[in-house]
Amino acid sequence: MSLPSTASRNGRFHLRIRIPEDLRPYFGKVEIHRSLGAGRQHARSMARSLRQKVEDCFGDLRRQRAAGASDDVLAFEARRFYEAGLPVTRLRSIRRSGTAASNGPQTLAEAIAAFVVDRQGRWAGKTKQMQESSLALFLRIVGNKSLSGLTRQDCRDARNTIARLPPNLTKRFDAPIDEVLAAGHPPRGPKTTNSNIAAVHSMLEWCRREGLLSDNPARGLLLPVGRRPDLERDAFTPAELQMLFAHL
């Protein structure tokens, strides 16, 4: 699968890894190519690390596909890995179906991938995991439609669907979303739903600031969050109110 690291004419080393045929449609290319720098020892160490990351990505894509993930979601995951999971010097276009992507993101998956790349170094740990999983879930529900075609109703419908889903969806269930909803599992709380939607809002707000959208269709879609039922107090009865006022 892997081609050897080679030194170019200017003395710099490169790693070329051939993408398996069954995964090429998601990457839109036949191989992954990365520069490893000029030092031989450093290049060898970096090549080993990158090979392992690529192999892990290939395995993860196949597991998601076996669990029923759509081609759009798989393409998003592949693009996110290619542009955010490996060292790059700039955001690269991906060729799909023989057609080169335009200079700017055109689809929802491309916009999410570009946003994730822009946030590298700003997210860490659980924040990074939550943000990326929320965006992947939104893409899974809405589909990879054109960014300009994304409507407020799309965002509202996605929010309502997310609110009906159980927490820790990807960790607990391998079934398609429709099957999970039909099973009637206890839904996630409004705070969790709002965290998911807040991630979507941030991504679309970034698109607006970058001139990719004229408005943010996810603005103002957070759910109201009430107090926990066990913390709510029963209202006073009329008799209790009379007794209370009588002692004032």
pLDDT digit of tens for each residue in the chain (248 aa)?
Answer: 444 455 555 667 778 888 999 998 888 888 888 777 767 777 777 788 888 888 988 998 898 888 777 777 788 788 778 766 665 433 343 333 333 334 568 889 888 888 888 887 788 878 888 898 899 899 989 988 999 899 999 999 999 999 999 988 877 777 788 888 998 899 999 999 999 999 999 999 999 988 889 999 999 999 988 654 444 456 667 777 777 777 66
Listed in sequence order, the DSSP H helices in 32-168 are 40-66, 71-80, 108-118, 125-142, 152-164
Domains contained in the chain, CATH given: 1-66 (no CATH), 70-227 (1.10.150.130)
Q: Is the pTM of this model over 0.95?
A: no
Phi-psi category of 173—alpha, beta or left, where left has phi over 0 and alpha has psi -120 to 50?
Answer: beta
